[in-house]
Chain A
């Protein structure tokens, strides 16, 4: 079946540094990918919608200069957390639509980011 590969699964970085998270669609092309953030015991929160070949659409309250999204190909989207702070520590998850709504959205395995 369709798989979304996300890595790294875990990353620890120092405050002020940048971290890049990659999300790849395997065996299918994803024109649109979604980036979520989830804090412990809370719901998934959509951060941005990533469209291949164009600028990402950010949700209200999400800083586009801090969370850089690049979707240069139909199989790869990246999220870069720039100048990370401890409050950016969270679980970041990407997802992609499989085309038909009835197939749902498939998710990457998530990235646990800890900023120290």
Chain B
């Protein structure tokens, strides 16, 4: 089957760094997205990885290891507005997005 494993919830402090880990199993693989979703809102695109390695984009970085079925999202210089759910979304061989419940990140002052 296809599944995604992320922590249900994480807590971090404003200004700090947090890493959200994700392991996945899919039928084939065509890349992995990270999305941010604030409560009551639609997801917004953060990053896309298709090759192994680190992609950096401002305060956010995403890493992928295809052989391990592993990805992480690294958030630096945390701000209160970063409190949201973060969704690790792999794409299978049919280009279908596989959605899990994500990780709810709580930022404390």
Contacts and interface: CB of A to CB of B under 8 A. Distances in A.
A binds B: yes
Interface of A: 6, 41-46, 91, 93, 95, 101-110, 112
Interface in B31-71: 31, 33, 35, 40-45, 48, 50
B50 A101 contact: yes
Task: Give the size range of B's interface with the partner.
Answer: 20 to 34
Chain B contact surface mostly: loop
A103 B44 CA distance: 11
A97 to B, nearest CB: 9
Interface of B: 30-31, 33, 35, 40-45, 48, 50, 87, 91, 95-97, 99-102
Given A42-B101, A43-B102, A44-B99, A107 B48 contact: no
16 contacts: A43-B102, A44-B87, A46-B97, A91-B40, A93-B42, A93-B43, A95-B42, A101-B31, A102-B50, A104-B45, A105-B33, A107-B44, A108-B42, A110-B41, A110-B42, A112-B40
